[in-house]
Amino acid sequence: MKQYFTILFTLFVICAIATSFVNEEKDDIYVIDSKSDLGEKLFFDPILSKDKSISCASCHKPEFAFADNKAFSLGVSDSIGVRNAPSIMNMLSRPYFFYDGRAATLEDQVITPIESPIEMNLPYDIAVDRIQSNEDYQILFNKVYQSNPDSFNIANALAEFQRSLESSGSAPHDLWLNGQDTSAMSASQQRGRDMFISDEFRCFDCHFGPDFTGDEFRNIGLYDGETLVDKGRYDITKDSMDIGKFKVPGLRNVGLTAPYMHNGMMETLEEVMDYYSNPYDFVDAPINTDSLMVEPLNLTDQQKEDFVNFLHSLTDRILPYQEQ
């Protein structure tokens, strides 16, 4: 008799747990009422990868400002990427996407990693079929888009989620610049900012605007045709002037997005500043280097420290979706 009640109790617990999972899923249906909310659900859902082992968030992690903390992210079956996964925050005003600028819209961008054989490795039409066959997604897409899921609105939902990932204005630099907290930036950070915007160092020539990027393509000396062979923008345009050029990244939350550069070759901001101080210490014979990079800056240790401290002042105190 005791064994009988034990079995009954075990079955009750299993049913209760199963019911809680079902209710959790159903709760999504009532909570999700916008395109970005729906895109968030898709972003964190491994349904978009071939073996359902990874999601978009596997490589774009909220705690790292939606970047990865590895030089190269792992796709399905532990396949290795070829470029560093950048932050996807502050994409709302970007005119190009990917380091080589191959996508003109976020809707175009989101499809590429789904289909890439070294990322999620799932033909987009199959991904669409999966979403269409999912009862919860059928309900949600009809609720949000007033239509069944399709190739357009699935991409649009993911894009709208990315567009929602804008900085909140909570970074020390924002608080200081807007007069909300005049003590938010240290003396070192203020010195770093003064150098950053100065004509002497010309950082602002590439990293300008609200998100500290001009959305241009620049070659900063990381192509030599031997050990550094990624041609960047050239692979899209086939213009020899674009050899070794990559899209200038924004610098918001850069303190969270290590490692750095398109190939993740630099592990810390200190190493980045060493590079900008004298690129030739890293690459002997770069090809097609931007004119801004030809002459080494030869920074002092104090200047490097101030630059790094300034870059940390661009870190948001409040990041979206940290608890996912």
Please count the CA atoms within 13 angstroms of the CA of 156 that sit on its side-chain side.
10
Residue pair 241/302 in contact (Cβ under 8 Å)? The answer is: no
CA distances from 227 to 219, 273, 294 (A): 16, 21, 20
Residue carrying the six token digits 């490097």: 304
pLDDT above 50 for 316: yes
Confidence of residue 321 (pLDDT cuts 50, 70, 90): confident
Over residues 253-271, mean pLDDT: 98
* DSSP code at position 287: S
Question: What is the structure's pLDDT at 277?
Answer: 98
Phi, psi of 166 (to 5 degrees): -90, 145
pLDDT above 60 for 242: yes
**Amino acid identity at 135:** E
Residue pair 100/236 in contact (Cβ under 8 Å)? The answer is: yes
pLDDT above 50 for 275: yes
| Per-position b or e across 195-221, b if 16+ CB within 10 A of its CB | bbeeeebebeebbeeebbbbbebbbbb
73-113 tens-digit pLDDT? 999 999 999 999 999 999 999 999 999 999 999 999 999 99
Cβ contacts of 156 within 8 Å, gap of 6 or more:
35, 39, 107
Question: What is the structure's pLDDT at 227?
Answer: 97
CA distances from 43 to 36, 60, 157, 169 (A): 10, 9, 9, 24
Q: Which two tokens stand for residue 142?
A: 């009809």
Cβ contacts of 262 within 8 Å, gap of 6 or more:
83, 84, 99, 222, 230, 232, 246
8-65 tens-digit pLDDT? 445 444 444 444 444 444 456 668 999 999 999 999 999 999 999 999 999 999 999 9
Percent of the chain with pLDDT over 70: 90
**What's the sign of the alpha-carbon dihedral 12, 14, 19, 20?**
positive
Residue 61, SS3 per DSSP: strand
Residues forming beta bridges with residue 80, ordered by sequence position: 74
Residue pair 147/153 in contact (Cβ under 8 Å)? The answer is: yes
* DSSP code at position 263: T
- Helix (H) or strand (E) run with residue 247 in it: strand 246-247
d(CA 308, CA 303): 9
Over residues 108-126, mean pLDDT: 98
